[in-house]
Amino acid sequence: MLDLLDEIERWLTEGHRVALARVIDVQGSSPRDPGAAMAVCETGEVRGSVAGGCVEGALVSEALKVLETGAARLCTFGYSDDEAFAVGLTCGGTIKIFLELVS
């Protein structure tokens, strides 16, 4: 998390908008525990991770929506999702992620 905040601070100092995503709940098998975090800069740069790499791509587009609207959002990724085949966790678990704009 310290590495992430170092980077977030740098992006903000450069005048960029930044979104922070945090795993807040995990059901079943999942690579990372709650608390795992990922930061997305409006330039498209990404730091950190919330899973094993399987949902990070989809999460970037969610983060870009947060950057656009400024509104926080909750996302769920997993097999129970309609989009399971697109962005599901290959390990079969479900993770809930909270995304917010950092100011």
Per rule CB under 8 A, count of chain residues that contact other proteins: 19
Residue among 22 and 47 whose Cβ is closer to other proteins: 22
**Smallest distance from the beta carbon of 2 to other proteins, in angstroms?**
4
Residue among 6 and 86 whose Cβ is closer to other proteins: 6
Please check whether residue 64 is in contact with residue 54, taking contact to mean a CB–CB distance below 8 angstroms. no
The C-alpha angle with vertex 44 and arms to 40 and 48, in degrees rounded to 5, equals: 40
Please report whether residue 98 would count as binding other proteins according to CB under 8 A.
yes
Three-class DSSP category at 68: helix
CA distances from 25 to 11, 32, 89, 99 (A): 27, 10, 14, 13
Residue 49 CA, chain-centre distance (Å), reads 7
Please report whether residue 42 would count as binding other proteins according to CB under 8 A.
no
Answer for which of 28, 35, 52, 53 binds other proteins (CB under 8 A) is 35
Please report whether residue 8 would count as binding other proteins according to CB under 8 A.
yes
**Smallest distance from the beta carbon of 92 to other proteins, in angstroms?**
21
Residue among 38 and 86 whose Cβ is closer to other proteins: 38
